[in-house]
Structure 1
Amino acid sequence: MASQQLAAQAQTQSEAQAQAQAPERLQGKDHFILGIGAGYTPTYQGSDAYRAVPVPVFDIAWGPVFANLRNGVGINVIESGPVTVGASVTYMPGYRRRDVPEGIGKLSLGAGGRGFASIRAGGLIATVGATKGFIGDNKGVIADATVSYPVRVSSRLTLIPTIGTTWADRRYNHRYFGVDADQAFASGLPRYRAGGGFKDASALLSLNYRLTDHIGLGASAGVTTLFGEVADSPLVEHKTRPSGFLSAAYRF
């Protein structure tokens, strides 16, 4: 499954396609976009190693119901002018056993309940959200905030610069970045308990090119920097890591 960074990149591109790909006769609040993407990302946050990851691209909206990679599956409970407030069930990222130092073990994927709100004003799109895990190895809380500014370069090309940050509670950070006594014994790493707080900041530049009335091509590049207590984790080999993403999607 995609990392948080790849999920944000995939969703940014599909949102750009939903807004800008189709001509006026196809525009509308409801849309159905499906595609495939490929990301190049660290094997886990802070890792020195990279891997290529296939990522589904989907953005479905039908009335108040939606499904997308960033927010999962849910419903918009408030849609009033530029303001949208919603609730959903979405995934919680993990990592594979072979991607982390020997003795740490895997962190299985999970699911969480999410609430979010977004507002559009002056061309800016600001979104805040929080997810509480209830299935899987990590049942902590992680919150995110992003601001993006889509720019129509031409009738076919849209650029979307985005900045964002995430905060996580102690339970989330320790499960993802911490090293308990058993893991320390098995891996040789020192014990470490990560506390809660802001854990990273990111910058992203995405583009979407409308190849036809229905087909859109996307590309993005971003960089994420860890800070706070998670940056001092013995699992973190590099605090700042770039990532990239390419996609092709079809709007029905």
Structure 2
Amino acid sequence: MRSLTLAGLLACSIALPAHAQSIQSENGDPEGDFAIVGAAGTVTPDYEGSDDYRLSPVPGAAGRVGGIGFQLAGNRLSVDLMPDILESGWKLQAGPLAAVNFNRTSPKSIDQPEIAALGDVGTAIEVGGYIGIAKTAVVTSEYDRISLTLSYRHDVNGVHDSGVWTPTLSYLTPLSRKALVSVFVSADHVENAYADTYYSITPAGSVASGLPVYDADGGWKNWGMGLGGAYALSGDLTGGLLLVGGVGYRRLLGDFADSPVVGVGSADQWLGVAGLAYSF
């Protein structure tokens, strides 16, 4: 998966039935374990800023074990170490996260010859954490939830050797015992080294690709939004086979949208996911 926005979209989709499980546990055994596991086909741009797309499979999972929540969404894993529900439906969220950034790691998978000529960037391993707060019983029922989180991750593999801040606002609501939907908006703020690694063009890169020399500065890289959903094929979100899916949009900004890397592609990025999961 080449985008954390898509990871958010997959998380949005596959975590929906996990929320239903969580509600059931909170109404019964607050320490009850549960899990959702699945796989999906995703449609993503060849690289950040491409207007060519490809289909690839990704895994997904969400749940709680021993009072600790977890979520695997393609290239991202996060753990919630704050399981306690506060008064009036409020809940603190905090824990570690890790992501693998595959952006431009395989020139052979990039159809745009100018970008392929820039060569591979390397696989960045981004490690960090997040904090947030959520509240249930907000608008539609006692089971809907709104949450606000802020995450930070830093490359520890020496590829871009910099950090990414991501605020995210999400809302989910059940439509019935069989269906849930969720929406989210998020943005990425990156440091200068990230901008240089993925969006600048060095003199050597200009000679190899034919693109002009360009120096990108860090800042707000993009904003994005998505819609996800889950439907219980077995008739109940808290157990059995589920259909999950969603669609997302991301818009590159500023120096990133103006980069020649995006100039041969598009600043408008569309993402999609559809698959099956099993809740138990």
TM-score for both structures, normalised by structure 1: 0.90
The equivalent of 1:85 in structure 2 is 94
The equivalent of 2:259 in structure 1 is 233
Range with bigger deviation, 198-207 or 69-78? 69-78
The equivalent of 1:31 in structure 2 is 34
Provide the C-alpha distance between the structure 2 equivalents of 1:130 and 1:71, rounded to a whole number of angstroms.
15
Range with bigger deviation, 2-11 or 235-244? 2-11
Letter in 1 for 2:65: W
What are the within-5 Å matches in structure 2 for residues 1-150 of structure 1? 1-20=1-20, 24=24, 30-63=33-66, 64=68, 66-69=70-73, 72-73=76-77, 75-81=79-85, 82-95=91-104, 96-98=106-108, 99=110, 101-121=115-135, 122=138, 123-135=145-157, 137-150=159-172
Residue 30 of structure 1, CA deviation: 3.2
Provide the C-alpha distance between the structure 1 equivalents of 2:166 and 2:80, rounded to a whole number of angstroms.
18
Residue 152 of structure 1, CA deviation: 1.2
Native 8 Å contact 1:21 1:156 kept in 2: no
Residue 69 of structure 1, CA deviation: 2.4
Q: Provide Cα deviations, 1:34-70, integer angstroms capped at 9, x if missing partner.
A: 2110111111111011101111112243233635227
Residue 194 of structure 1, CA deviation: 1.1
Provide the C-alpha distance between the structure 1 equivalents of 2:75 and 2:208, rounded to a whole number of angstroms.
36
Distance 1:195 1:202, change over 3 A: same
Native 8 Å contact 2:147 2:170 kept in 1: yes
Distance 1:129 1:31, change over 3 A: same
Distance 1:189 1:90, change over 3 A: same
Native 8 Å contact 2:2 2:44 kept in 1: no
Provide the C-alpha distance between the structure 1 equivalents of 2:186 and 2:270, rounded to a whole number of angstroms.
14
Residue 74 of structure 1, CA deviation: 5.8
Q: Provide Cα deviations, 1:46-98, integer angstroms capped at 9, x if missing partner.
A: 10111011111122432336352278456544444310111233323322213
Native 8 Å contact 1:21 1:216 kept in 2: no
Provide the C-alpha distance between the structure 2 equivalents of 1:193 and 1:78, rounded to a whole number of angstroms.
41
Counterpart of 1:245 in 2: which secondary structure? Answer: strand
Provide the C-alpha distance between the structure 2 equivalents of 1:21 and 1:156, rounded to a whole number of angstroms.
12
Distance 1:22 1:248, change over 3 A: farther
Distance 1:12 1:160, change over 3 A: same
Structure exhibiting the larger radius of gyration computed from Cα positions: 2
Native 8 Å contact 1:8 1:70 kept in 2: no
Residue 226 of structure 1, CA deviation: 0.5
Of Structure 1 and Structure 2, the greater helix share is in: 2
Distance 1:124 1:74, change over 3 A: closer
Provide the C-alpha distance between the structure 2 equivalents of 1:135 and 1:216, rounded to a whole number of angstroms.
36
Q: Provide Cα deviations, 1:113-154, integer angstroms capped at 9, x if missing partner.
A: 211012112331111101000115222211111111112111
Native 8 Å contact 2:7 2:76 kept in 1: no
**Of residues 219, 226, 246 in structure 2, which corresponds to 1:220?**
246
Provide the C-alpha distance between the structure 2 equivalents of 1:24 and 1:89, rounded to a whole number of angstroms.
28
User: Is there any run of 5+ residues in structure 1 with no aligned partner, and where?
Assistant: none
